[in-house]
């Protein structure tokens, strides 16, 4: 049935991973991203300081999503124990992933706190707080590995979201085919990895709700219900805003295409 633990026991084994993750992402933000961005992207150096701050946090976000997505995919493909015992299976890979997430979000909250006037947004604070609360329990007590890994699927959409911001910041027109293609890919990825998975997640929650393993969680039960409900509300709000933006871009792109056809169809006397 997998690697089980019988009681909710505090374990600090993965705390050094979270601490190393926090230091890594703070260093990436402060030193690595500014240096590499200046070398590889000419437009970065001409950005205003607040834009450079946002740029570097998004580099952090993209690297984090790549790392966590790979770990999430590995667990989905090779760790059958978390599916067989979704509550009590002790999955080291998932716990490591959660520790990486907690470290990254701690670093991001530090950066947001320092530069709140430039890049602060209340929804990010709520999102990070709710996520850290949930992943803390997985990292510390080794419970709910299946549900934690399932939620990490959301990271697959993050690179597309950040790429849209990079293109916009570098001055790409919203009707540029690259911008339009990324916008469509972003919306589809966001929907598939954050919205479409909601029914299956809540069905799984309902299947374990009230069972003896679920009851044994005690107050950690709140992680499955309250925390994830908050995260889903935030994701639905973001998706709503995203669809409005994509709709505007597609409308502009279609108008530009139509004007181009009309212009090409005019013959000189």
* Residue-wise pLDDT tens digits, 174-199: 889 999 899 999 999 999 999 999 99
* Residue-wise pLDDT tens digits, 20-75: 999 999 999 999 999 999 999 999 999 999 999 999 999 999 999 999 999 999 99
d(CA 121, CA 116): 8
Within 8 A by CB and 6+ apart from 83, the residues are: 146
Instruction: Give 216-219 contacts, CB < 8 A, sequence gap 24+.
Output: 216/7, 216/8, 216/88, 217/8, 217/87, 217/143, 217/144, 218/8
Q: Is residue 141 a contact partner of residue 10, using CB atoms and an 8 Å limit?
A: yes
The whole-chain average pLDDT of the chain stands at: 91
Residue 127's pLDDT is: 86
Within 8 A by CB and 6+ apart from 142, the residues are: 5, 11, 90, 91, 95
């Amino acid at each position: 049935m997998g690697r089980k633990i019988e009681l909710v026991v505090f374990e600090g084994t993965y705390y050094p991973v979270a601490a190393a993750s926090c230091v890594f992402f703070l260093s990436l933000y402060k030193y690595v991203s500014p240096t590499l961005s200046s070398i590889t992207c000419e437009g970065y150096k001409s950005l205003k300081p607040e834009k450079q701050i946002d740029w570097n946090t998004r580099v952090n976000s993209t690297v984090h999503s790549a790392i966590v997505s790979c770990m999430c995919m590995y667990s989905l493909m090779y760790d059958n124990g978390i599916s067989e015992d979704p509550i009590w299976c002790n999955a080291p890979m998932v716990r490591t992933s959660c520790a990486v997430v907690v470290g990254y979000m701690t670093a991001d909250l530090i950066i947001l706190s320092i530069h709140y006037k430039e890049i602060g947004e209340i929804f990010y604070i709520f999102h990070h707080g709710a996520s850290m609360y949930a992943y803390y329990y997985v990292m510390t007590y080794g419970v709910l590995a299946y549900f934690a890994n399932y939620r990490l699927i959301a990271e697959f959409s993050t690179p597309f979201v950040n790429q849209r911001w990079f293109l916009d910041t570098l001055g790409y027109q919203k009707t540029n085919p690259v911008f339009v293609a990324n916008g469509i890919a972003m919306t589809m990825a966001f929907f598939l990895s954050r919205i479409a998975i909601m029914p299956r997640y809540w069905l799984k929650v309902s299947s374990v709700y009230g069972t003896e393993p679920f009851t044994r969680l005690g107050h950690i039960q709140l992680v499955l219900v309250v925390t994830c409900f908050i995260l889903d509300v935030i994701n639905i709000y973001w998706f709503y805003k995203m669809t409005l933006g994509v709709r505007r871009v597609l409308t502009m792109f279609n108008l530009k295409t139509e004007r181009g056809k009309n212009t090409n169809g005019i013959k000189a006397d």
